[in-house]
């Protein structure tokens, strides 16, 4: 199978063994106008409904969009299994359509629960994970969920005969690396020293490697497993918890947010609806183009503009009344590093009493301060991906979501 990778698709290195602890509840889904429309407009096609899909982490920020996008845009869907540690009440509203929606409360770290959920599925979309760069989870459980959980999904596919596995990886598998090397308009083949220390990128890199190496393994029944990995950059859109945190922080500071990162440090972002669409499309095309797509990685991208993380957020928070103070950081970088280190020390000291997990810590500061943008068309070349939502549409939908939150915040 053609492995186009070699640079950014190459082997990441982790310094130190990551491990982790239980995850916070993901944001509940279901309040967004677009998602309700998607659910209402469920795929109605003359195609034969015969496929069973499983989405792990299907109640998370991305997972919910993938679930609803499948219902709208996968006409061969007979049953959609939604597997998650925390099931959302919104799943009930999806059970009125032509597709059987099966909610499965389960833990990817429990192999038997995963095997039971996978058995009989044609396609698995594995999005479940601990997305923690704020120190909420201890390293052991990040490893347990993101790596061991992925191992359990792979072995379940092999044991039960499921042939197609799509893994939600991350840009963080590539970078920013611990040396702060910028990744400027890179693609899946761009040479880059993908060396990490933080448990999250380490766990994602290890999980991605497991998925790609499993491509071609014989599953029960003797046919080969076909796998691929999608690498979203920073996902935004309806249900994005960090955007919610920024918004509430701005409200607490009298409608102001204080710039901490130079506007010149661009960070890749991609709309959640387009990431969901790429998952649906890659899962479909993987079945037709296994020789080309099996074992491949694809960055998730759309027409979202290249901006600093904070300036990009203001595309949505500005129209909702917040203001980013100053055109350059108010505080020198060395002082920011000191404040970030103090936050990390406070988190460690307070841990026996309470969870203190602010946005600013040494890792988030370093990542935010290192440019990372992608410019690729590999997904378009391999499986005809084109973003479903324009930048204007993505921006409008996200603003409406923040405004709906604003209504609830008053």
Ligand X SMILES: NC(=O)C1=CN([C@@H]2O[C@H](COP(=O)(O)OP(=O)(O)OC[C@H]3O[C@@H](n4cnc5c(N)ncnc54)[C@H](O)[C@@H]3O)[C@@H](O)[C@H]2O)C=CC1
Question: Active-site residue numbers?
Answer: 200
**168 counts as binding ligand X under rule CB under 6 A:** yes
**63 counts as binding ligand X under rule CB under 6 A:** yes
Q: Taking the mean position of all CA atoms in its chain, how far away is CA 287?
A: 22
Q: Which is nearer to ligand X, 74 or 132 (CB)?
A: 132
C-alpha distances in Å from residue 188, one per residue of 177, 224, 309: 16, 24, 22
**Taking the complex as a whole, how short is the minimal distance between the CB of residue 359 and ligand LYMKJE3O, in angstroms?**
4
**61 counts as binding ligand X under rule CB under 6 A:** yes
**29 counts as binding ligand X under rule CB under 6 A:** no
Q: What is the three-class DSSP state of 123?
A: strand
The site partner of 145 among ligand LYMKJE3O, ligand X, none (C-beta below 5 to 8 Å per kind) is: ligand X
Q: Which is nearer to ligand X, 61 or 383 (CB)?
A: 61
* Phi and psi at residue 343, to the nearest 5°: -60, -40
Q: Which is nearer to ligand X, 63 or 135 (CB)?
A: 63
How many Å apart are CA 195 and CA 178, to the nearest integer? 6
The site partner of 85 among ligand X, ligand LYMKJE3O, none (C-beta below 5 to 8 Å per kind) is: ligand X
How many Å apart are CA 243 and CA 352, to the nearest integer? 28
Q: Which is nearer to ligand LYMKJE3O, 172 or 315 (CB)?
A: 172
**Taking the complex as a whole, how short is the minimal distance between the CB of residue 60 and ligand X, in angstroms?**
2
Query: For strand 372-374 and strand 183-186, is the pairing parallel, antiparallel, or unpaired?
Result: parallel
**62 counts as binding ligand X under rule CB under 6 A:** yes
Q: Report the b/e string of 264-283 with b at 16+ CB within 10 A.
A: ebbbbbbbbbbbbbbbbbbb
**127 counts as binding ligand X under rule CB under 6 A:** yes
How many Å apart are CA 77 and CA 52, to the nearest integer? 6
**170 counts as binding ligand X under rule CB under 6 A:** yes
**Taking the complex as a whole, how short is the minimal distance between the CB of residue 104 and ligand X, in angstroms?**
9
* 240 in Cβ contact with 361 (< 8 Å): no
Applying CB under 6 A, the residues found at the interface with ligand X are 23, 26, 57, 59-63, 84-86, 107-109, 127-131, 145, 149, 168, 170, 204, 232, 234-235
């Amino acid at each position: 199978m053609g492995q186009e990778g070699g640079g950014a698709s190459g082997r990441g290195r982790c310094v130190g063994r990551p491990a982790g602890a239980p995850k916070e509840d993901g944001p509940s889904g279901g309040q967004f106008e677009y998602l309700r429309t998607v659910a209402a407009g469920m795929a109605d096609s003359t195609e034969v409904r015969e496929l069973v899909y499983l989405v792990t982490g299907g109640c998370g920020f991305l997972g919910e969009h993938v679930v609803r996008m499948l219902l709208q845009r996968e006409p061969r869907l007979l049953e959609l299994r939604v597997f998650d540690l925390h099931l959302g009440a919104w799943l009930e509203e999806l059970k009125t359509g032509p597709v059987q929606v099966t909610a499965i409360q389960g833990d990817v770290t429990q192999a038997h629960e995963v095997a039971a959920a996978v058995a009989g599925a044609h396609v698995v979309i594995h999005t479940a994970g601990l997305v923690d760069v704020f120190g909420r989870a201890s390293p052991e459980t990040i490893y347990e969920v993101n790596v061991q959980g992925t191992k359990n999904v792979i072995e379940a596919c092999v044991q039960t005969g499921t042939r197609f596995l799509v893994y939600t990886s991350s840009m963080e598998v590539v970078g920013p690396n611990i040396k702060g090397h910028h990744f400027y308009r890179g693609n899946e083949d761009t040479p880059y020293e993908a060396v990490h220390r933080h448990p999250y990128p380490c766990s994602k890199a290890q999980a991605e490697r497991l998925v790609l190496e499993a491509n071609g393994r014989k599953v029960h029944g003797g046919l080969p497993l076909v796998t691929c990995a999608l690498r979203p950059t920073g996902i935004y859109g309806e249900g994005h918890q960090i955007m919610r945190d920024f918004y509430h922080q701005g409200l607490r500071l009298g409608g102001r947010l204080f710039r901490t990162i130079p506007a010149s440090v661009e960070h890749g972002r991609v709309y959640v609806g387009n990431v969901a669409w790429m998952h649906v499309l890659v899962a479909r095309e993987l079945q037709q183009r296994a020789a080309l797509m099996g074992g491949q990685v694809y960055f998730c991208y759309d027409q979202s503009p290249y901006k600093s993380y904070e300036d990009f957020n203001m595309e949505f928070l500005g129209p909702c009344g917040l203001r980013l103070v100053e055109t350059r950081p108010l505080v020198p970088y060395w002082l920011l590093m000191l404040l970030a280190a103090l936050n990390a020390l406070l988190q460690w000291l307070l841990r026996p009493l309470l969870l203190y997990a602010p946005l600013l810590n040494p890792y988030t500061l370093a990542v935010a301060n290192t440019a990372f943008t992608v410019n690729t068309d590999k997904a378009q070349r391999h499986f005809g991906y084109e973003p479903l939502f324009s930048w204007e549409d993505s921006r409008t939908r996200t603003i409406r979501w923040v405004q709906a939150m604003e209504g609830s915040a008053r």
